[in-house]
């Protein structure tokens, strides 16, 4: 019996998009859905109650970070990720593969998973500032913290510099202990600036790692057959887990399609679509993949969360999305509105007694003004991070819920057109 059940409720005419229901042992996710990122089993500056009030249905944590602190065995002993953090809904973990990029090529060359081609100079300056302010590494070595080999990825701990090897098998073992409802195969995310030769090499390695991840997942599942629930709990978190394979291939159409064809040939429960992309053609790159992936299984777009990108991703067949951007932007005084992003530190907001967004029904917008948030950020008060994060998270989750409703009602195209006009005005 599968750990998840996915049902398509309505398809988007002329496109690959759809609205559906993804059932897990910890509840239902109505798709399309934005997956809230709680990297270290916490969404920065927010309580579980605030996350729930923002409308979140599912939370994703980071395998790499939980391995180093507090350690997967402690999470397992607590009853798994959800119980450990006090969240009773569906959970997910990534594989740690993205850190091979962020602590390797990205660390060394200062690049992101999305190419800056097609992004305005203002956006580039804003993203660079946020990346600079939000590096989550407590030591600052001269060399990268990740080295990739055929066997796996050798990481240097961001805490003390010690070396740790993540293989596909080790990643799956750790994720089984963490116990999320949905876990991911170990993969290599490449730089958008990598050569075609390296993109091909990394893709072929990711394919081999996919088979190894799946084999280990099946071994762990087989070891649980015939066991009592208590015996299973003693070895794992006790949560039935779905494994998603990851499609890579960079910006090369042939590689993307080849990856999608190979990954869909394996008995994964669903699929993740990884970077790297050109900003201007995210929708096209996703379409290459989703034309091939089996439509009866869910598709998760990894690390994408900007409002306009979400419309493209949904239209082209993605069901789930995770990204740290909403809360990271919030902690850096950048707030979403239906008229586009604003920086609350701008002088014009010091005396602005209106809410961040008059159409938003979040706790922050119902109770506070732009002037008050501007005051908190200028005074470096901790409450600024909480109130801004509540707003940005609610805004994105509500936007995706609205997109879902528009698919069900047959008004998606009009919603997309109206939102783009307002957001880009």
User: Buried b vs exposed e over 226-256: b needs ≥16 C-beta within 10 Å?
Assistant: eeeeeebbeebbbbbbbbbbbbbbbbbeebb
Judged against a pLDDT cut of 50, whether residue 131 lies above it is answered with no
Do residues 234 and 293 share a domain?
A: yes
Q: State the Cα–Cα distance between residues 221 and 404, nearest whole angstrom.
A: 34
> What residues make up the domain containing 71?
5-95+172-187+198-323
CATH number, domain of 250, equals 3.20.20.105
Do residues 389 and 257 share a domain?
A: no
In a domain, 390, yes or no: yes
In a domain, 202, yes or no: yes
Judged against a pLDDT cut of 90, whether residue 254 lies above it is answered with yes
Q: Which of 177, 269, 322, 357 is catalytic?
A: 322
Q: Which of 94, 177, 319, 357 is catalytic?
A: 94
In a domain, 235, yes or no: yes
Q: Highest mean pLDDT: which of 105-119, 187-201, 275-289, 302-316?
A: 302-316
Residue 399, H or E segment? helix 383-409
Do residues 362 and 388 share a domain?
A: yes
Do residues 288 and 178 share a domain?
A: yes
Percent of the chain with pLDDT over 90: 76
The string of pLDDT tens digits covering residues 135-185 is 444 444 556 788 899 999 998 887 888 999 999 999 999 999 999 999 999
Do residues 276 and 241 share a domain?
A: yes
Of 219, 275, 259, 224, nearest in space to 243 by CA: 219
Q: State the Cα–Cα distance between residues 291 and 214, nearest whole angstrom.
A: 23
Q: How far is CA 160 from the centre of its chain?
A: 27
pLDDT score at 99: 79
Judged against a pLDDT cut of 90, whether residue 77 lies above it is answered with yes
Do residues 183 and 262 share a domain?
A: yes
Answer yes or no: is 94 a known binding residue: yes
Structure tokens at 32: 């399309």
Answer yes or no: is 98 a known binding residue: yes
In a domain, 138, yes or no: no
Answer yes or no: is 189 a known binding residue: no
- Weakest-pLDDT range from 33-47, 63-77, 225-239, 348-362: 225-239
Answer yes or no: is 365 a known binding residue: yes
Cis peptide before 163 (omega within 30 of 0): no
94 is catalytic: yes
Do residues 82 and 231 share a domain?
A: yes
Do residues 203 and 315 share a domain?
A: yes
Summary mean pLDDT of the chain: 89
Do residues 307 and 354 share a domain?
A: no
pLDDT score at 187: 95
Q: State the Cα–Cα distance between residues 158 and 160, nearest whole angstrom.
A: 6
Answer yes or no: is 362 a known binding residue: yes
- Residue finishing a domain among 297, 323, 349: 323
- Residue finishing a domain among 294, 323, 352: 323
Instruction: Count the domains in the chain.
Output: 2
Do residues 317 and 345 share a domain?
A: no
Q: What is the dihedral of CA 112, 70, 272, 394, to 10 degrees?
A: -80
140 burial type by CB count under 10 A (0-12 exposed, 13-18 middle, 19+ buried): exposed
Do residues 267 and 374 share a domain?
A: no
Percent of the chain with pLDDT over 70: 86
Do residues 207 and 73 share a domain?
A: yes
Mean pLDDT, rounded, for 24-35: 98
Answer yes or no: is 95 a known binding residue: yes
- Residue finishing a domain among 323, 346, 367: 323
- Weakest-pLDDT range from 88-92, 205-209, 248-252, 301-305: 248-252
């Amino acid at each position: 019996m599968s750990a998840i059940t996915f049902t398509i409720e309505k398809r988007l005419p002329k496109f690959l998009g759809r609205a559906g229901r993804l059932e897990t042992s910890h509840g239902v996710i109505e798709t399309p859905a934005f997956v809230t990122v709680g990297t270290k089993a916490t969404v920065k500056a927010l309580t579980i109650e605030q996350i729930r009030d923002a409308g979140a249905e599912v939370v994703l944590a980071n395998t790499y970070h939980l391995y180093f602190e507090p350690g997967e065995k402690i999470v397992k002993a607590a009853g798994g990720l959800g119980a450990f953090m006090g969240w009773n809904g569906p959970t997910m973990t990534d594989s740690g593969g993205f850190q091979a990029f962020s602590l390797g090529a990205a660390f060394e060359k200062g690049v992101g998973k999305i190419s800056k081609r097609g992004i305005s100079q203002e956006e580039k300056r804003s993203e660079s500032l946020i990346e600079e302010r939000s590096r989550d590494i407590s030591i600052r070595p001269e060399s990268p913290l990740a080295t990739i080999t055929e066997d796996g990825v050798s990481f240097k701990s961001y805490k003390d510099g010690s070396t740790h090897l993540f293989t596909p098998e080790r990643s799956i073992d750790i994720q089984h202990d963490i116990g999320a409802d949905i876990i991911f195969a170990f993969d290599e995310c490449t730089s958008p600036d990598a050569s075609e030769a390296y993109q091909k090499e990394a893709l072929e390695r990711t394919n081999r790692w996919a088979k190894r991840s799946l084999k280990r997942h099946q071994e762990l599942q087989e070891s649980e057959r015939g066991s009592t629930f208590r015996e299973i709990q003693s070895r794992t978190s006790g949560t039935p887990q779905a494994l998603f394979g990851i499609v890579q291939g960079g910006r090369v159409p042939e590689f993307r399609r080849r990856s999608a064809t190979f990954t869909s040939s394996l008995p994964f429960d669903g699929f993740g679509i990884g970077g790297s992309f050109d900003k201007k053609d995210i929708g096209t790159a996703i379409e290459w993949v989703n034309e091939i992936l089996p439509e009866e299984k869910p598709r998760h777009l990894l690390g994408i969360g900007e409002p306009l990108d979400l419309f493209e991703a949904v239209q082209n067949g993605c069901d789930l999305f995770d990204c740290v951007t909403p809360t990271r932007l919030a902690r850096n005084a950048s707030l979403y509105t239906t008229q586009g992003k604003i920086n609350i530190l701008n002088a014009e907001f010091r005396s602005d007694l209106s809410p961040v967004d008059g159409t938003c029904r979040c706790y922050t917008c119902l109770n506070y003004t732009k002037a008050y948030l501007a005051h908190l950020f200028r005074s470096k008060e901790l409450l600024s991070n909480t109130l801004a994060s509540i707003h940005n998270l609610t805004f994105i989750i509500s936007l995706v819920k609205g997109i879902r409703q528009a698919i069900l009602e047959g008004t998606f195209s009009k919603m997309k057109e109206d939102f783009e006009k307002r957001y880009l005005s």
